[in-house]
Amino acid sequence: MSTLRKSSTVRVLAQTISLFVWSTVMGWASEPKGLSSPGTNIFAPASTPAKSIADLSIFVLVITGIIFVVVFTLLAYSVVKFRARAGDVGREPAQVYGSTQIELAWTIIPILIVVVMFLATARVIHAIQDAPELEGAVEVTAIGHQFWWEFRYPKLGIVTANELHIPVSEPNHPTPTFLQLLSADTDHSFWVPELAGKTDLIPNHPNRMWMDPQRTGVFLGQCAQYCGTQHAKMLLRVSVDAPGDFAAWVRSQQGLAVEDQGAAAGKRVFESNACMNCHTVAGTVADGRFGPDLTHLMSRSTIAAGAANNTHDNLRLWIQDPSRIKPGSLMPAMQLSDPDLDAVVHYMETLH
Amino acid sequence: MSSNAITIPDTETQARPWVDELHLWVTTVDHKRLGILYILSALLFLAIGGVEALIIRVQLMRSHNDFVSPEVFNRMFTMHGTTMIFFVAMPILFGFANYLVPLMIGARDMAFPRLNAFSFWLSFLGALLLYFSFIGGSGLYGAGSAPDVGWWAYAPLGARAFSPGHSSDYWTLSLLVSGFGSIGTAINIIATILCLRCPGMKMSRMPLLAWLNLVMAGMVLLAITPLSAAQIMLLIDRYLGGHFFDTQAGGSAVLWMHFFWIFGHPEVYVLIIPCFAFMSEIIPVFSRKPIFGYPVMVAATVCIAFVSMSVWAHHMFTVGMNSYANSFFTLTTMAVGVPTGIKIFNWIGTMWGGRIQFKTPMLFSIGFLFQFLIAGLTGIMMAASPFDWQLSLSYFVVAHFHYVIVGGILFALFGAFYYWYPKMTGRMLSERLGKWHFWLFLIGFHMTFDVMHIPGILGMPRRIYTYEPGRGWDTLNFIVTIGAFIQAVAILVFLANLVISYFKGARAGNDPWDAWTLEWSISSPPPAYNFAIVPTVASRRPLWDLKHPEDPDSRYE
């Protein structure tokens, strides 16, 4: 009987919690949003690390939920039951000083709960952190900068920024992605909630994380460790591609910059100003490393680390005065004349 | 016993020119006056830190809001955090400790009255240094003034390369100076409790408030010293060419994190243990029963103190420690929940079978128990390090620690204000305004901090001055902001109550709550040097023995 009651309590709690989780998801879903706007809900995992974290989280939520209900009931009961009543004035209740048995009970039971939760947690820690790197895994070096992301694929010879492309990992043909995390300046943290927990990028302290997305699509995230003035607009997009799409993307990124004679004027402006000191356009003399690689700028859907869509107007505004989009960004306003500005924007728009 | 204690003719209440009065307050070495100075300065900074919080909340009310610039926003959350921890929570708790510990152990003052005054003025100077940065500092590139590196000032953000100008120097000096003040006060509290207890008051007969403040002071010594050391190292880095934390020259950012959190986590307990102390005095009196399991409460506190010294790196689960370190800190962090749970059970045990009077101090105490329970449980969630890899650095964490600091510490402090204000001023605080204060603050608190957990679960990081629309964060943040303003109104009611009751409150008399500890045996406010005749005690509740000679506690202990 008591087992039955207990298991039904657990069920009710599990239902309550899933209801809570579900309602937060729905709360997110009912917000006005663009058609393809993906979420950042930690309870909507799409990758093994995020999934095992979410499962552990539900387990911990159920246990803490039970503790809450028990202790809250005791508290509420004693507040209601033992309140002073009208006839009590001047009369003191029985003076009780303690009880060893009761103290032992509420010491030992919590210790047992801690042991259980610790063991469950330690399993997940080990499974995620000590996972061996598979043959054929994609390797990416992510480097945090104030206030953007650099992604380098050492095996594939690709350098890109802010938008990470990785292949979907199919169960029968797993292709997880392993990230090495570095920082060029201050601390940052890589957080795409639906793919994995966050890991910091710390100078002189290389870190590692991995993910194996189970479905294609764009996953959002952003820098989670305060890194300076524009920490808020250091956004992350991870595009999880079908194997064919990923291969095509890799091929397109491996090439040098497209030479477009129509944009020669803009190229000249770019290379005769400070632009080239910070930005690389592969195949040209521009080989700066301080800012994002622009070789295939037009293959990205956003600029300024996700702060604006990659449109003609935004690009122009960004080059003219970055602080209009991202005050505190380290890119200076180049003070270009209107013709020069148009020429550079045109040049940028040829970098597919 | 002190039943026949003579009240010393109260020379201080005679009208004196205000300049003399001011001079007296500035030069005082009396523990009661210093306690009140601590509390008043903390209330001043509570108001300032509160305004900073409101600025943060207005900015985050909706996505892409432009109420303040990112630079100002970053300064606000840095100043808010630093102010509330170092110049509100710590001083106000030191203030109560200063005021209450000598009274409750039957002493005439603290062990080192001049060190006491020195410590207070150091801590106040620290606060002034921090706020002078608004005028004298200049922050991150393009950021103007006041520190904006977050209240942890993670390396290398605090290095000169990333924090030019002097704002971080004011931050460092401020914490260094006030840290010495805290160490002085801690030494003083320890010496007072160990050496100045009245005859008959064995360690095992001390009020729990004294016990818990003893433990707190011990923790201050262990926690503040690494912080001070780190601040000195940072100054060496910034001005003497050191490379402790300068990552560009091979220094270690992670070292700073260890230094900061080996201070930072015990600090949480430094703040919460005195609040446990308030609860352990208030709950028994309004339940009309002695504290349940006194020895266990002491043991649990000492246990918390020890275990909490080994949990610091749970602030660093995302830093990339190996799986063994993560497991270790998961275990210790979960383990600290056991003695903490024992304390909650013992408070409920105290209420169990009692006759609970719902005066304002007790209302806040019950609020404390409820909120501290939830704060503890969300703490357990984040102790599970994988869960923390998601929750850490998100608004869930912000909600969690505000649950501890506001829902726990501030509620306990309000309870303490309503309970001991009559002793400090001789006047009762208005119960009517008190109930308004309680209910408004409770509603505002839950509106703000319950809701704040959800954006964290939905992926909203902390310390962002703006966010993208369409993430599901807008409505939630709007509700949070409304709640913050309701709390602000409640605080205004509280401040009004403090002022109005000072002039118009009902006379308190010596013992308005029919309580049991020594401070209620003397006049309100107590005379200089407290006890004309040093009392002698025979149990933990000397006034109970006095009021119930037929059934004294001393018979059972």
Q: Considering the domain boundaries, does residue A21 fall inside one?
A: yes
pLDDT of the residue at A28 = 47
| SS3 per residue for B414-468 | HHHHHHHHHHHHCECCCHHHHHHHHHHHHHHHHHHHHHHHHHHHCCCECCCCCCC
Q: What confidence tens digit (pLDDT) does each residue in A217-228 have?
A: 999 999 999 999
pLDDT of the residue at B164 = 85
Q: Are residues A40 and A60 in the same domain?
A: yes
Give the whole-angstrom CA distance, residue B246 versus residue A305. Answer: 26
Q: Is the pLDDT of residue A29 over 80?
A: no
Using pLDDT thresholds of 50, 70 and 90, give the confidence band for residue A15: low
Q: Which domain holds residue A222?
A: 138-254
Give the whole-angstrom CA distance, residue B453 versus residue B467. Answer: 16
Q: Which of A24, A226, A229 sits opposite B143 (nearest CB)?
A: A229
Give the whole-angstrom CA distance, residue A239 versus residue B552. Answer: 74
Strand order in the sheet with A163-167: A163-167, A235-241, A217-222
Using pLDDT thresholds of 50, 70 and 90, give the confidence band for residue B136: confident
Q: Considering the domain boundaries, does residue A88 fall inside one?
A: no
Quick check: A202 and B556 CB within 8 A?
no
Q: Considering the domain boundaries, does residue A93 fall inside one?
A: no
Tokens describing residue B129: 């240094």
Q: Considering the domain boundaries, does residue A89 fall inside one?
A: no
Comparing A3-7, A141-145, B179-183, B187-191, the range with the smallest average pLDDT is: A3-7
Q: Which of A208, A50, A130, A121 is nearest to B327 (CA)?
A: A121
Residue A292 sits in a domain whose CATH number is: 2.60.40.420
Q: What confidence tens digit (pLDDT) does each residue in B365-424 have?
A: 999 999 999 999 999 999 999 999 999 999 999 999 999 999 999 999 999 999 999 999
Q: Are A197 and A153 in contact (CB under 8 A)?
A: no
Determine the distance in angstroms separating the CA of A254 from the nearest CA of chain B, rounded to an integer.
31
- Tell me which residue has tokens 């292709």: A175
Q: List all residues 6 or more positions away from B460 whose beta carbon is below 8 Å from its beta carbon.
A: A40, B394, B395, B467, B471, B473
Q: Are residues A8 and A125 in the same domain?
A: yes
Question: Quick one: closest CA in B to A115, which residue?
Answer: B331
Using pLDDT thresholds of 50, 70 and 90, give the confidence band for residue B244: very high
Q: What confidence tens digit (pLDDT) does each residue in B78-101 have?
A: 999 999 999 999 999 999 999 999
Q: Are residues A229 and A200 in the same domain?
A: yes
Q: Are B540 and B289 in contact (CB under 8 A)?
A: no
| SS3 per residue for B346-414 | HHHHHHCCCCECCCHHHHHHHHHHHHHHHHHHHHHHHHCHHHHHHHCCEHHHHHHHHHHHHHHHHHHHH
Q: Are A306 and A279 in contact (CB under 8 A)?
A: no
Q: What confidence tens digit (pLDDT) does each residue in B461-491 have?
A: 999 999 999 899 999 999 999 999 999 999 9
pLDDT of the residue at A34 = 38
B294 in contact with A, Cβ within 8 Å: yes
Backbone angles phi, psi at B522, to 5 degrees: -115, 175
Domain B2-9+16-555 has CATH 1.20.210.10: yes
Q: Which of B141, B296, B320 sits opposite A200 (nearest CB)?
A: B320
Q: Which of A194, A219, A254 is the last residue of a domain?
A: A254
Using pLDDT thresholds of 50, 70 and 90, give the confidence band for residue B134: confident
pLDDT of the residue at B146 = 87
pLDDT of the residue at B555 = 84
Quick check: A191 and B288 CB within 8 A?
no
Number of structural domains found in chain A: 3
Q: Are residues A165 and A242 in the same domain?
A: yes
B296 in contact with A, Cβ within 8 Å: yes
Determine the distance in angstroms separating the CA of A241 from the nearest CA of chain B, rounded to an integer.
22
Comparing A6-10, A107-111, B361-365, the range with the smallest average pLDDT is: A6-10
Using pLDDT thresholds of 50, 70 and 90, give the confidence band for residue B11: low
pLDDT of the residue at B487 = 98
Q: Are residues A226 and A270 in the same domain?
A: no
Q: Are residues A304 and A233 in the same domain?
A: no
Question: Quick one: closest CA in A to B331, which residue?
Answer: A118
What single-letter amino acid sits at B121? Answer: W
**Domain ranges in chain B?**
2-9+16-555
Once rounded to an integer, what is the mean pLDDT over residues A307-327? Answer: 95
3-state secondary structure of A209: strand
The number of helices, as runs of H, and strands, as runs of E, in chain B is 18, 0
Once rounded to an integer, what is the mean pLDDT over residues B116-141? Answer: 86
CA R_g for chain A: 27
Q: What confidence tens digit (pLDDT) does each residue in B503-557 have?
A: 999 999 999 999 999 999 999 999 999 999 999 999 999 999 999 999 898 888 7
Q: Considering the domain boundaries, does residue A94 fall inside one?
A: no
Q: What confidence tens digit (pLDDT) does each residue in A51-102 have?
A: 999 999 999 999 999 999 999 999 999 999 999 988 777 789 999 999 999 9
Q: Are residues A11 and A117 in the same domain?
A: yes
Residues in chain B: 557
Q: Which of A129, A148, A170 is the last residue of a domain?
A: A129
Give the whole-angstrom CA distance, residue A125 versus residue B384. Answer: 9
What are all long-range contacts of A18-22, with beta carbons under 8 Å and residues at least 24 apart? Answer: A18/A58, A21/A58
pLDDT of the residue at B556 = 80
Longest dimension (CA), chain B: 74
Q: Are B344 and B289 in contact (CB under 8 A)?
A: no
Using pLDDT thresholds of 50, 70 and 90, give the confidence band for residue B1: very low
DSSP run (H or E) holding B154: none
Hey, which residues 190-219 in chain B have their CB within 8 Å of chain A? none
Give the whole-angstrom CA distance, residue A213 versus residue B44. Answer: 52
B549 in contact with A, Cβ within 8 Å: no
Q: Considering the domain boundaries, does residue A87 fall inside one?
A: no
In Å, how far are B113, B458, B459 from B455, measured between CA atoms? 48, 5, 6
Q: List all residues 6 or more positions away from B430 whose beta carbon is below 8 Å from its beta carbon.
A: B497, B500, B501, B505
Q: How many Cβ pairs closer than 8 A exist between chain A and B?
A: 309
Give the distance from CA A22 to its chain's centroid.
21
Question: Quick one: closest CA in B to A117, which residue?
Answer: B384
Give the distance from CA A214 to its chain's centroid.
16
Q: Which of B140, B154, B355 sits opposite A93 (nearest CB)?
A: B355
Q: Considering the domain boundaries, does residue A123 fall inside one?
A: yes
pLDDT of the residue at B8 = 57
B50 in contact with A, Cβ within 8 Å: no
Quick check: B356 and A96 CB within 8 A?
no
Once rounded to an integer, what is the mean pLDDT over residues A117-131? Answer: 96
Using pLDDT thresholds of 50, 70 and 90, give the confidence band for residue A16: low
Tokens describing residue A148: 């953007």
Q: Which chain B residues touch A75 with a CB distance below 8 Å?
A: 348, 351, 366, 369-370, 373
Quick check: A117 and B384 CB within 8 A?
yes
Q: Is the pLDDT of residue A3 over 80?
A: no
Give the whole-angstrom CA distance, residue A102 versus residue B338. Answer: 14
Backbone angles phi, psi at B271, to 5 degrees: -80, -40
Give the whole-angstrom CA distance, residue B396 versus residue B385. Answer: 14
pLDDT of the residue at B3 = 47
pTM exceeds 0.80 for this model? yes
pLDDT of the residue at B12 = 54
Q: What confidence tens digit (pLDDT) does each residue in B251-310 have?
A: 999 999 999 999 999 999 999 999 999 999 999 999 999 999 999 999 999 999 999 999
pLDDT of the residue at A23 = 52
